[in-house]
Chain A
């Protein structure tokens, strides 16, 4: 397929902008005008529509097929949520209305929604207060670690270290480092849980927090989290829960009850809002009471008359996003929670876990399973058996494209050699999951029979096997090249 720039014809236009006919207004001053044209492709409206319609057909989404991308919770996003977010009363609000006395009545519904969403999230997590501002999971983590820093600073303590097990998501150490902490990584034991002896050895008065992804990136629920939190508290440190994998435990276990002080959620994973190509997302940060003053952004309070208003939090770590973050995403998340109800959320988690365990059991004979335990919402295999034939996780991923499936996450988590991380989510039918299992079995068989042929996949996609090494070494994203 040609780039849209290659379809450009000099002088062709999609839109004709009329001459300026408001002569009594002065023209823009010279210093604000372009010195040379913007370098956009010159195409007609039809060229543009066809180009992007074709591109969209080459795209792969959860609306078209199964998307078992581990660590991403690519569940189906019910269309009713889109309708809720498109309601005029939400969609047409101007954010500045929060600051206008006359705007108050038009935003009271929006504030009520946000307030109710916060309350719903405290019910799911067992935490006390929430800020909806962060715009992604990692953004929520960053907020959480800034809160930890502010908390220790408020007590006059200087704590520089964050402990992170090696099964935590990569954003955990990154967010800690971004917030100015030094990270100590603790290895996992043979059960896929943080080595408790190593943890205890590293826990001391300079530790600000321990940061656990729960369930962890092996799809394993750490049975020691209560003790992990207790020990952290004894040492004067806080316990942080990366709740991006909440899809495994909703209605079953609340991180707040286990002793965690801070956590974040990923709306775009657990609460069925779309993963919009890296955004917009929402990663609310939730805390226990003693940390509530530090939350980012303003708080929404309910007055005695039942009305809602916004107040500044005096000790807040500050704003992390304009207004209330990605409001439209939050509307969808709230609609999802209402649609499901408490029992529905618990049922979603049960089915997500059941589906992952079903796949695990079906494929255990064909792929090495490094941690032989019941899994939660995802299961992690290793392609180490296949590697004996020279076939890698990457080759298996490419094979699946030919079978119409999005590849699972590969080479993550890092502690599993040749990792294949599969997360089916609750929204897939048994039929689809069985088809996927068949494809994975065929992959194992074909890889064993003819490894050389196997490595040529995908054969049926719009472009064939890409040379990923050259693409990374000689990255070229400029057109024209000069």
Chain B
């Protein structure tokens, strides 16, 4: 599976038309302790850069944006009762939604892990 990142710190792992998305370790560190995840509904149509769902932390409520256009096929219901999973394992167990991707080309302007690392350095 290839993994890509957005400038807003979402990640998406892609295999053909199937994808999994979440938010990056950097994003989670910025947010601090996550206290609530408002998961997207299964079947929700999402547009690249549009809002998928909201995450609340002790600091703020933040919108999570879609890295690609498509449809939500599953939401990680574990996060409902255990939002701390997002802090503990943001890029694995703390995934937010599984997606059906409309256009695989959507990832072309996203960042590879190396590019994303560079991008994070530029934010310092």
Contacts and interface: CB of A to CB of B under 8 A. Distances in A.
Interface string A414-432: 1001000000000000000
A201 interface: no
B58 A469 contact: yes
Given A417-B30, A473-B83, A473-B84, A468 B58 contact: yes
A359 B2 CA distance: 50
Contacts of A469: 33, 35, 58
Size range of the chain B interface in the assembly: 10 to 19
Interface string B78-100: 00000110000000000000000
B117 interface: no
A464 B84 CA distance: 24
B60 interface: yes
A473 B80 CA distance: 10
Contacts of A392: 32
Nearest to A469: B33
A411 B59 contact: yes
Nearest to B83: A473
Contacts of B35: 469, 472-473
Interface residues of A, number: 11
Contact of A414 (B33, B58, B60): B60
A472 B60 contact: no
A122 B119 CA distance: 49
Contacts of B59: 394, 410-411
B116 interface: no
Interface string A462-473: 000000110011
Interface of A: 392, 394, 410-412, 414, 417, 468-469, 472-473
Given A469-B33, A472-B58, A473-B83, 20 more contacts: A392-B32, A394-B58, A394-B59, A411-B59, A411-B60, A412-B60, A414-B60, A414-B62, A417-B30, A468-B33, A469-B35, A469-B58, A472-B33, A472-B35, A472-B36, A472-B56, A473-B33, A473-B35, A473-B36, A473-B84
8 contacts: A394-B59, A411-B59, A468-B33, A468-B58, A472-B35, A472-B56, A473-B83, A473-B84
Q: Please name the 9 residue pairs, one residue from A and one from B, whose CB atoms are nearest each other, closest first.
A: A472-B35, A469-B33, A411-B59, A468-B58, A473-B35, A411-B60, A469-B58, A414-B60, A472-B58
